[in-house]
Structure 1
Amino acid sequence: MMKMPKSKYEQTKVPDEPLVKEMTSVQDIFSIISIDESGIFELPERKFSKLYVLSDINFAGVTDEEQKAIIINFSKVLKTIPCRFSYSVANEHVDEKKFHEKILYRMKHDEYDSLRKSYNKIIKDKVSDAKQGLYQTIYLTLTIKAEDMVDAKGSFGSIESAVRSAFVGIGVNGIQGSVMRTVGINERMQLLFNLTHVGIDSEYEFDFESEVAAKHDWVNILSPASIRFENEHFVMNGQVGKVFYIHEYPKSLESDIISALSKMNCTSYISVNNELLDISGFKQEIGRKYMAVGMKIENEKQRNRNNNDYLADASQKLLNEKEKLDQFSKELDTNDDHYFNTTMMILILAESQDELSRIEEKLMNAASLKSVKLKSCFGKQREGLNSVLPLGIQEFKRVVNLSSSCLAMLMPYKTQELNDEGGIYYGVNQLSQNVIFADKKKLKNHNGLILGQSGSGKSVFAKSEIICTFANFEEDQLIIIAPQLEYNDLADEVDGTVISFDSNKEAYVNPMDVDFEGVDYGRLREIISDKADFILSLLSSCLKRDMLPEEQGIVDSVIEKVYSENYSMRKRLNGISEEESEFSVPGYMRSDAVTLAAETDMSNEEQIRAYSPTLQDVYQGLLDEGSNLATHLAAAMEIFVNGSLNLFNHRTNVDLSNRFIVFDLSGLKDNLRITAMLIMMETVRSKIKENAKLGRWTHLYIDEFHELLAVEQVASFVLKLWKEIRKMSGILNGITQNMSDLLNNDNGGKLQAILSNTEYFALLSQSTLDKNKLMQFLPSISPAMFNFVDNASSGTGLLKMGSITVPFDMRMDKNSEIYRIVNTDGGGSYGV
């Protein structure tokens, strides 16, 4: 008997035929014909699929209005996809040993391993079970029809660009959209291998080129050791799995259905498989149903007439159905929505039948709360497994008609995660309960601000970040500028250097120190320019006014003479004659006679301290210049050179090579404060440049940041460093109580310039006033997210790293060793 041809609509309801109808071996599980190095899988019936990863966006942490906008934008994305597609939310299998290896700090076998162990204990306490630390992955699978692999590659290339752009446009109000990343063949095969080898201890990593060279069959690589499909479940390598489908949907879809169903502490996949409906075929189907209902109404009326009931109409149910079909048919003609035949499926995997039963009960309860009814793929577990995994296969279908607007309600997005490999610990994400690891070095601009009102845990947060950075980036140097004694104990813990600007302690720093090793004349000009800027700022603070143009010229001339002569002298000290250095030193700096000074056997570090110019040299240079203006400038410097405030006219006698340095400003007299700040910033800038030359990162923390911005000359210095430090492998972090302090000390809009060059914000508890100001300065953060800083508990708040913003909880056990080190307020409010 010849089969009746199916309509276009009916064809979308027909499931795919398995590649192998009757399984005879483990190699028959997946209906994949071939794989390609581009990541494309060839499927039966000339279908080809390609896999992508979608970055998560902050959907759960935004306002209702923003959620509505994201849903509308998501529906627009769905309209741009011209082929069969599915999106999946995957809780992939996590090997507990590998999981802890990934998130825990590695031991460096030095004296700071105790710090790393203490942090690892905190992290383990937050993530007591590896399954609770699963990071959900959102996959998009596109499936097309093509003549061959070459044709498929071309088709995917033309589709990808528009779809990728559409996903980026999902975000609203500055919220980042979803980034679509192509999954390569190695990653895609590894994903399947990890699933089919759950329960088997294997360190295998798939490499396409190596496998091809070895002539291995990829089917054998993917195949599990054993698998058995029952009517209600399957058993693979001793693990028990089950595939469900949504049998009944609620009358009104909620946007968190997938989120609610994915909160299972096990390996799981939730997939929404979609077959795009041809609109003309769909209209024909609606017309056919309309006619069928019309015939039922006429038949019912005829029966009523046969029963001599000439006034009775058809049942209200049929009349309502006809009216709805009529209304829907009109909508199809007027709107531009796309329609899909959709099947939503769920896979769960457990270690035993008992555990599967417990997970299934939890899943059913979650579904019930969302008015969703699940059924197992009875007798079709293999087909269900092929369909629920991101393969592009739809061997199991129980479809429901959904428009793109309705389908967008099945939202795969929840919240962004911060999980930088090699990053430092920032607590847990309050929305997902996943651990937060972040690395500022991966940002376009590394600078940051840590803001929080008194009692918010701001200092403890900063100290925790400092200790983590010190322990895990063992080549980096950390420099802390502290107006109070708050960081001295921290320096003691790590054998750091504390530099107190107190004349009674005889700890001296020469701001004129300079390293000439490997410096040519071009670099010398840069050094002279930097030192001239510093001296101009210093004199400006002494005179309490801006420098006049003619005064600037005199200072520039004196600094050039001082450093040029020092440069030549240092060259001769190291056995380099002026003739030998003719390509470095210009003619006017060379004498006619070739002379050599007595050579030195001092190290470069010792030479910097012993032979660098001092403020005395600048003072003397101004006097030697002889003009009235120069003499006047020298007089302004007198007190800092020969007078009572000569603290900085000494050669450096502290260790600036230590990895951990604290500049303690607590002992400064008021009349030295501005000068000390300028000299300290010049010393720090010189150190950062020196580190950059060695390929070393520098982390600079400035506590009570608003105090530096309150002084015009210092603020200008800070702003310049804020802009240029990125190029010198530096990270500048300002720590202050609130936005009000910064705004009150904003000289000439410098705060705006600082904020525009800042990608890292740690926002702890804020007053309502400060929260409102932050919302103005940071429009890319949803107003709903600011609820996490509105008089928040100590140790909690928002962490913004580039385009990603997550609410963090960094509270720790009061009895932990780290808490003892970082908590210096005596209140104990930060711990739990």
Structure 2
Amino acid sequence: MSKAKKQKNANKHRALSAQQTIPYIAMHPDGICQLPGGLYTKTLEYEDINYAVASTEDQTAIISGWSACLNYFDSSLPFQLSFVNRRSRNANRYKVNIPAQEDDFNSIRGEYVEMLKGQIAKSNNGIERYKYITFGLPAEGVAEARPRLGRVEADVMGNLKRLGVQSRPLDGRDRLAVLHGQMHPGGREPFRFAWKDIPKTGMGTKDYIAPDSFDFRQSRTFRVGQMWGAASYLQIMASELSDKLLAEILELDAELTVTMHIQTVDQLKAIKTIKGKISDIGRMKAEEQKKAVRAGYDMEILPPDLITFSKDAAELLSDLQSRNERMFLLTFTVVNLAPTRQRLENDVFTVSGIAQKYNCALRRLDWQQEQGFVSSLALGYNGIEIQRGMTTSSTAIFIPFMTRELRMDGQALYYGMNALSNNVIMADRKKLKSANGMYLGSTGSGKSFAAKRELINVFLATNDRIIVVDPMGEYAPLVRRLGGQVIEIAPDSPHHISPMDLQMNINDEDSPLSMKADFLLSLCELIVGGKEGLQPIEKTVIDRCVRLVYREMALG
């Protein structure tokens, strides 16, 4: 074929607009997306759970549960795991929730706000991390695909719930918002879309999410809008993988998308293929032994690679036949995005270093940058034909969980930095399962300082009442500075507590008189009861006297 004809054929298949690069046919309002080839997909967004800080037993249980989730998908149900690190817009950055007020404490408020701003600036709150699972199945039309996808969605959400993972399905607008964020890196342009606008404007869904331009003319990089990008794939060379590989990549302070396209191989077909490979290895062994006999050396001496392949194939066949293992075909891609080409190369180099540490390699998708980018979109479309055979255990080691964030809005208080994700911890105790708290630590570790910091935060951010019981008197100066009242209880102080005081207007199911009698019985038992406590006759006398003392109040 002549060079001119080749160029003509290439131009014929080249996308003429940014919209044509986006590889889906239709997006429906209920979240079902139609892809080329009659594949219909849906997407779930799921939250994180505490894996990195869990005990070894809990980590084993989580990996076992995650393996069961992977084994749910059969050969007719390909799925995609997407991990999107996106630079948030300034309007969406986590902000300090302590506004200035007309009082005498704005100087304290200003100092505390500056401290919080500094902690937020040091954290990774500029990077928003999202996790999605996209699954699809072939169907003749959307009417046929809808009930089947609904059943799969319910099963997947149930499997995740058993792991303690909260998830939610994305509708059509949510999926378009995800795609818009992936194709507008840097978070500069807000997503504006409503289904009612389509008939008014005559625009399609792709027009609302497409960037200004794509540029895939270079072999190792591409441009999306004003941003630079690079698509790479992970070459897995290690015989055993670590559960920290994926976590370390996702912890980077960089804009990137990690994608795992997973296709389950039919179990019978996988076993048949492995048996064929074992037969081929046996035939190669026989040929090597024949060569050894002809050359006159020991026929038991075989090439090391042949011995290794034979052992690995036998173990793989045993796993597929006797253990709850499936065979998967995995495509692992990483798409880095950065505002400058130099920053992009630095980010790619960092990811490559992490992969190298775990005996893997990050290879650039030369002349396949467009296919790599569109395959990273949370659509379930895979245009990369680089696959690696993996068992269930090997695939599950890419554990998608690290640590659960605790970052609430509203009257949330600052509790420090998450040691794993490096994000600020902001929580409202009243919204948690238990509002109680306790500071534990060795002497000099900062327990009192943390308590005083929380006290100031409660004072500045809420209208809650604060009561401090302080035997050592170390909180008195702080309470006086905040305009509080200090009540000193001591033998030589002017303040006293009357144990006989009774309030008849208490809104409680129990009688105030009965409660006071029980209290005075307990008090007398502590004071004069001794080792054996009060005798029954003494308890009777005290109870009778209490009722006589408060008889007039009870009658009134």
Q: TM-score scaled by structure 2?
A: 0.82
Matched, 1:194 2:181: yes
Deviation at 1:428, TM superposition (A): 0.7
Which position in structure 2 is the counterpart of 1:428? Answer: 417
Which position in structure 1 is the counterpart of 2:79? Answer: 85
What's the CA shift string for 1:726-756, capped at 9, x where partnerless? xxxxxxxxxxxxxxxxxxxxxxxxxxxxxxx
8 Å Cα contact 1:243/1:347 also seen in 2: yes
Q: Which runs of 5+ in 2 are unaligned?
A: 1-11
8 Å Cα contact 2:86/2:185 also seen in 1: no
Which position in structure 1 is the counterpart of 2:362? Answer: 374
AA in 2 matched with 1:401: G
Matched, 1:351 2:342: no
Matched, 1:242 2:230: yes
The correspondence of residues 237-636 of structure 1 with structure 2, limited to 5 A, is 237-290=225-278, 316=303, 317=305, 321=309, 324-325=312-313, 328-422=316-410, 423-473=412-462, 475-501=463-489, 505=494, 512=502, 526=508, 529-530=511-512, 532-534=514-516, 536-538=518-520, 540-542=522-524, 544=526, 548=539, 562=553, 565=556
Matched, 1:233 2:233: no
1:88–1:197 distance in 2 versus 1, CA, 3 Å:
closer
8 Å Cα contact 2:408/2:426 also seen in 1: yes
Aligned counterparts of 2:550 and 2:173: Cα–Cα separation in 1 = 60
Aligned counterparts of 2:330 and 2:125: Cα–Cα separation in 1 = 30
Aligned counterparts of 1:324 and 1:543: Cα–Cα separation in 2 = 75
AA in 2 matched with 1:458: K
Aligned counterparts of 2:458 and 2:201: Cα–Cα separation in 1 = 44
8 Å Cα contact 2:232/2:365 also seen in 1: yes
8 Å Cα contact 2:179/2:378 also seen in 1: no
8 Å Cα contact 1:88/1:269 also seen in 2: yes
Higher-RCO chain (CA-CA 8 Å, sequence separation at least 6): 2
What's the CA shift string for 1:504-523, capped at 9, x where partnerless? 546999965677xxxxxxxx
The correspondence of residues 660-679 of structure 1 with structure 2, limited to 5 A, is none
Question: What secondary structure sits across from 2:373 in the alignment?
Answer: helix
1:351–1:506 distance in 2 versus 1, CA, 3 Å:
same
Which position in structure 1 is the counterpart of 2:146? Answer: 153
What's the CA shift string for 1:99-141, capped at 9, x where partnerless? 1xx2323424333444443233223333445657535333222
Aligned counterparts of 1:369 and 1:432: Cα–Cα separation in 2 = 20
1:62–1:192 distance in 2 versus 1, CA, 3 Å:
same
Aligned counterparts of 2:244 and 2:265: Cα–Cα separation in 1 = 25
1:284–1:487 distance in 2 versus 1, CA, 3 Å:
same
Deviation at 1:417, TM superposition (A): 2.0
Deviation at 1:382, TM superposition (A): 2.0
8 Å Cα contact 2:41/2:137 also seen in 1: yes
What's the CA shift string for 1:434-459, capped at 9, x where partnerless? 21111112213322223334322112
Question: What secondary structure sits across from 1:479 in the alignment?
Answer: coil
Deviation at 1:308, TM superposition (A): 7.5
Q: Which runs of 5+ in 1 are unaligned?
A: 1-19, 171-176, 516-523, 566-832
AA in 2 matched with 1:438: A
What's the CA shift string for 1:401-445, capped at 9, x where partnerless? 111011111222222221222321111112222211111122133
1:401–1:557 distance in 2 versus 1, CA, 3 Å:
farther
Deviation at 1:216, TM superposition (A): 5.3
Which position in structure 1 is the counterpart of 2:54? Answer: 62
Question: What secondary structure sits across from 1:72 in the alignment?
Answer: helix
AA in 1 matched with 2:83: V
Deviation at 1:464, TM superposition (A): 1.0
AA in 2 matched with 1:477: R
AA in 2 matched with 1:41: C
Aligned counterparts of 1:91 and 1:253: Cα–Cα separation in 2 = 23
1:432–1:525 distance in 2 versus 1, CA, 3 Å:
closer
The correspondence of residues 657-736 of structure 1 with structure 2, limited to 5 A, is none
Aligned counterparts of 2:99 and 2:414: Cα–Cα separation in 1 = 15
8 Å Cα contact 1:196/1:222 also seen in 2: yes
1:539–1:300 distance in 2 versus 1, CA, 3 Å:
closer
Aligned residues: 527
AA in 2 matched with 1:478: I
8 Å Cα contact 1:133/1:433 also seen in 2: no
What's the CA shift string for 1:347-384, capped at 9, x where partnerless? 11101001111112222222211111111222222221
Aligned counterparts of 2:307 and 2:317: Cα–Cα separation in 1 = 15
Aligned counterparts of 2:198 and 2:494: Cα–Cα separation in 1 = 68
What's the CA shift string for 1:280-303, capped at 9, x where partnerless? 22233334445555666677889x
Aligned counterparts of 2:211 and 2:243: Cα–Cα separation in 1 = 36
1:477–1:243 distance in 2 versus 1, CA, 3 Å:
same
8 Å Cα contact 1:79/1:338 also seen in 2: yes
8 Å Cα contact 1:90/1:136 also seen in 2: yes
Question: What secondary structure sits across from 1:497 in the alignment?
Answer: coil
1:511–1:155 distance in 2 versus 1, CA, 3 Å:
farther
8 Å Cα contact 1:185/1:208 also seen in 2: no
Aligned counterparts of 2:239 and 2:445: Cα–Cα separation in 1 = 45
Question: What secondary structure sits across from 2:425 in the alignment?
Answer: strand
Aligned counterparts of 1:554 and 1:389: Cα–Cα separation in 2 = 80
1:201–1:77 distance in 2 versus 1, CA, 3 Å:
closer
8 Å Cα contact 1:93/1:195 also seen in 2: no
8 Å Cα contact 2:503/2:512 also seen in 1: no
8 Å Cα contact 1:419/1:437 also seen in 2: yes
Based on CA coordinates, which of the two structures has the bigger radius of gyration?
1
2:88 aligned to which of 80, 94, 114: 94
Aligned counterparts of 2:339 and 2:180: Cα–Cα separation in 1 = 17
Identity %: 23
8 Å Cα contact 1:133/1:434 also seen in 2: no
